[in-house]
Structure 1
Amino acid sequence: MPGTTTRTFDVIVIGAGPVGENVADRTTAAGLDTVIVEAERVGGECSYWACDPSKALLRPVLLHSELRGTPGLESAANQTLDAAAVLRHRNTMASEWDDAGQVEWLNKAGISLIRGHGRLAGPKEVTVTTPEGDVLLLTARHAVAVCTGTTAALPPLPGLEELRPWTSREATSAKEVPARLAILGAGVVATEMATAWQALGSQVTLIAREPGLLPRVEQFAADLVTERLRESGVDIRFDSGIAGAVRSPDSGDVHITLVDGSEVVVDELLLATGRAPRTDDLGMETVGLRAGDWLAVDDLFTVEEVDGEWLYAVGDVNRRALFTHQGKYQARIAGAVIAARAHRRPLDIRRWSRFVGTADRVAVPQVVFTDPEIAAVGLTTAEAERTGQVVDVVDYEIGQVAGAALHTVGYRGHARLLIDPRRRTVVGATFAGAGVAELLHSATIAITGEMPVERLWHAVPAFPTISEVWLRLLETYRDAI
């Protein structure tokens, strides 16, 4: 490639989000010369447009909601949120969209950084077009890890460029509260952003093409969120959709025509309609893959359709589990695999080995930071039915636990365990209610540890805490069999 600067590294990582950082950290710690290629900010989607800023918006909202049931603080609950203060806090949590701190961490960890757009250019080769327009050719001695994540998948609405809709990025980084906000979607982004912006002062219209919200969680949890959103003033339109939308060049208003012919006029429209892999401009065709596709991997996170065990796809881009924490888990495994192969060490590929991504198939934890929170791991009832797995379903109202009553007067929440009746182990857990996110790790440990219910009886929950719901669930199961 004439006029191109060529550099060689042991490992090339494309994408400097939390996943890419963790891959590079593990390979560098193993003594491999590693470079990260990043076209935007070091820290990725999670740090600037997803996890951190969205939860910074939501935490004050959820706390404010809990004040309504806290004796002595009802008057504070009647006060409106200081939206400007919440947005300033969000800016701080997003590091003011400056990645200097993340770059400093890379330097301290001994990881090289090249800014620019990275593309595969053949086996173990990556070209990088820098912001200045220069082209670098990077060659990997051992591995290339694609950690490019996902981007918003937009519906085929005509005139999208003129419409200038929000995606999840604009929804988490907006500088001011829109007076009227419409959201198309029914999933996590749609419900979390409806929760946040309604509380911050927007009149939110939530347009769901589905008959209900959050179709991948237990129905009882989705129903609780739907009830609370409506109580807060969100206008939810089920079994609906957008037939067309235009932004007025004069007023800036967005005029939305729904499929039933009715019209909604708002200041902003958020399209929360799913995610697509960032592989459309990745040079996929140079290694026999198709641009825009998800990258299918094995349990060692090696790309299945590419020979030679040199190409890895880690995090959201492989579609196994679209969560930052799960991507970081994959990164730790992929980093260990890359290092072992580079040093010609044997790989222990038994289930639950540090080289095998078993948890992706067994226990993927998720928290939906709505009001109320939803925390879930493992199977849901619908998934068990769809896959033909026989489970015992155990339910309990969290509000009947003393710790919940002390947490919030009139606590509304529900818990469900799914138990394999043959092995008598927990295979799924869902909690919905204020503060339940902190119950999730115990459920994750119970599932990954394959702990029989007889052993769980001896894990005594502290009194009076919400975690006592574990005891009540086990008692309910004992009394039912």
Structure 2
Amino acid sequence: MTDADAVKSAVYDVVVIGAGPVGENVADRTRAAGLSTAVVESELVGGECSYWACIPSKALLRPVVARADARRVPGLDAAVQGPLDTAAVLAHRDWYVSDWHDDGQVAWLEGVGADLYRGQGRLAGTKQVSVTTPDGTEHRLTARHAVAVCTGSGAVVPDLPGIADARPWTSREATSAKEVPGRLVIVGGGVVGVEMATVYQALGAQVTMLIRGKGLLPKMEQFAGELVAEALTEAGADIRTGVSATSVDRATPDGPVTVELDDGGRIEADEILFATGRAPRTDDLGLETVALKPGSWLPVDDSCRVEGSNWLYAVGDVNHRALLTHQGKYQARIAGAAIAARAQGTPEATGRWGAHNATADHAAVPQVVFTDPEVASVGLTLAAAERAGHRVRAVDYDLASVSGAGLYASGYRGRARMVVDLDREILLGVTFVGPGIGELLHSATVAVAGEVPIDRLWHAVPAFPTISEIWLRLLETYRG
């Protein structure tokens, strides 16, 4: 038998590489359209979000934020002054990630009629995917219509002296840890950094944050990072801005980590978490077989088809448009519909806000940061709107002055901003900061994505007394 004879071949309409939420949604859409679909996964079906990111981090954060909210309610505050039950918090996290078993996700994928191939998937030429399974079996999958790369992104760890021996945490270790370190250094002030600082400070760690720039959450409105920093500092975290780590050292496998700083300082901690960005998981994907650069982000059009190709799609983090699970799933629905339309020769709706156009990636990306206080935003910040050339006005309001906020929590602190396009009289962006505001975000997302005129928003009456009354206050401020 020749090597070629040993390779098992199969033909599908669509081959999806990566079975995280994005790949699952592409497969769901293509199967719903009647296209045969194979899905390739090298780790757990369900991907990063289900086991090492969104789900475990929010499971860890929920008791932290719930306790913080309860401590601000008269008559309840005295009952919740004690420490969190760390074992119960971690067990709650473990339950939500199914103890890192993917049986349920596999059953769902089988339920939609997709074929699962476990192993490392690589492109092997036009419409070709090779799969090496854990037992060494080689499969060659041919796609009649499309291959969708949905391999996501991974944490970036800087190449510092001593980094390998220091065994630093990334978001994966932070969300799956079995113990709470006594001292934790967090390098980076983005979403992962502030959320994990919130968790571990509340669970009893002494947290030190090293921020290279001027503040936290640099991609959001400046006041968002300021309010989160204020709360973390009050909780006991040490936030140092304008400083970077220059080297790390763990002298013994079980010993502490020593971090040297560019300001001449030094910190000792039990663990160090690098939350310093993401890189595409495309380095071992066979991109060179289709004239693409290994390890690169994959630029796409608004249907998520790779530029210069008529069959290759890159969906989710790998295209670098919006590195958020919900946005990747949105792209997957768009891409799946586009793949089906092109396979079946039906008309495509690729105009702005069309069924085959991921317009929201540009105009209406929503995000919630589950800190205390929460941060929620959609669309453009004031600075981003001005850079884009819009004639805009920022309308700000103190959330604490809304009746619903005062009832929600004593000593409520928060702020809201809407960015108004003065030429079109619509909202380009909205940001809320404050306890309990995450669920407000979808109303803002509808307003931004729907390009609802200010005059029509005036007739969307918020219920009294809820935090949603902030909408009325913002509109009153704008109208003067």
1:323 match = 324
Give the counterpart letter for 2:402 in structure 1: V
- Corresponding residue pairs, total: 477
For residues 33 and 333 of structure 1, what CA distance do their matches in structure 2 show?
18
Choose from 6, 11, 15 the match for 1:8: 11
Once residues 11 and 203 of structure 1 are traced to their aligned partners in structure 2, the CA distance between those partners, rounded to angstroms, is: 49
Q: Does 1:175 align with 2:144?
A: no
Once the two structures are superposed, the pairs formed by residues 387-426 of structure 1 within 5 Å of their partners are 387-426=388-427
Residue matched to 1:153? 156
Give 1:392 shift: 1.1
Alpha-carbon distance in 1 for matches of 2:180, 2:154? 23
Q: Match of 1:354?
A: 355
- Any idea what the Cα deviations from partners look like across 1:187-242, whole Å, max 9, x if unmatched? 00011100100001100010111111110111111110010010000011111011
Is the CA contact (8 Å cut-off) linking 2:187 and 2:209 kept in structure 1?
yes
Partner secondary structure for residue 62 of structure 1: helix
Q: 1:106 aligns with which of 98, 109, 133?
A: 109
Q: Which residue of 1 aligns with 2:478?
A: 477
- Pick which of 347-356 and 20-29 moved more: 347-356
Partner Cα separation in structure 2 for residue 167 and residue 360 of structure 1: 26
Secondary structure (helix, strand or coil) at the match of 2:124 reads strand
Which residue does 1:33 correspond to in 2?
Answer: 36
Report the Cα offset of residue 327 of structure 1. 0.4
Whichever residue aligns with residue 125 of structure 2, its letter is G
Secondary structure of the equivalent of 2:158?
A: coil
Q: Counterparts of 2:164 and 2:180 in 1: how far apart (Å)? A: 22
**Aligned amino acid, residue 420 of structure 1:** D
Q: Deviations over 1:159-201 (max 9, x none)?
A: 3221110000000000011111001001000111001000011
Q: Deviations over 1:372-399 (max 9, x none)?
A: 1000001101112322221111011111
**What amino acid sits opposite 2:45 in the alignment?**
V
Say whether 1:63 aligns with 2:57. Answer: no
Q: CA deviation at 1:248?
A: 2.1
Instruction: Give the C-alpha shift of residue 154 in structure 1.
Output: 1.2
Pick one of 233, 238, 243 that aligns with 2:236.
233
The alignment partner of 1:122 has SS state of coil
2:339: which partner in 1? 338
Matched position secondary structure for 2:396: strand
Deviation, 1:250, is 6.0
**Per-residue deviation, 1:427:** 0.8
Match of 2:100 in 1: 97
1:251 Cα offset (Å): 4.7
TM-score, with normalisation over the residues of structure 1? 0.98
For residues 384 and 448 of structure 2, what CA distance do their matches in structure 1 show?
Answer: 16
Match of 1:386 in 2: 387
Q: Map of 1:262-277 to 2, 5 A cutoff?
A: 262-277=265-280
Q: What is the alpha-carbon distance in structure 2 between the residues aligned to residue 392 and residue 265 of structure 1?
A: 46
Unaligned runs of 5+ in 2: none
Query: Partner of 1:78 in structure 2?
Result: 81
Segments of 5+ residues of structure 1 without an aligned counterpart are none
Q: Secondary structure at the match of 1:383?
A: helix
Moved more, 131-140 or 328-337: 131-140
Residue aligning to 2:449: 448
| CA distance in 2: counterparts of 1:476 and 1:336, whole angstroms | 42
- Deviation per CA, 1:60-92: give whole Å up to 9, x if none: 111111122101111133111111110000001
Matched, 1:247 2:285: no
The alpha carbon displacement at 1:344 in A equals 1.2
Q: CA RMSD in A?
A: 0.9
The alignment-based identity, stated in percent, is: 62
Kept in 1, the 8 Å contact 2:163–2:247? The answer is no
Provide closer, same or farther for how the CA distance between residues 303 and 93 of structure 1 changes in structure 2, counting only shifts above 3 A: same
Query: Are 2:433 and 1:432 aligned?
Result: yes
> Matches of 2:170 and 2:292 in 1, distance apart?
28
1:9-51 per-residue CA deviation (whole Å, 9 max, x = no partner) reads 1100000000000000000011111010000000000000000
Q: How far apart, CA to CA, are the structure 1 residues paired with 2:84 and 2:254?
A: 28
Q: State the Cα deviation string for residues 399-433 of structure 1 (Å, max 9, x = none).
A: 11110010001110000001111111111100000
> What's the CA shift string for 1:129-174, capped at 9, x where partnerless?
1111121111101100000000011111123221110000000000
Structure 2 Cα separation of the partners of residues 126 and 158 of structure 1:
38
What is the match of residue 186 of structure 1? Answer: 189
1:290 lines up with 2:309 in the alignment: no
The one-letter code sitting in structure 2 at the alignment partner of 1:392 is R
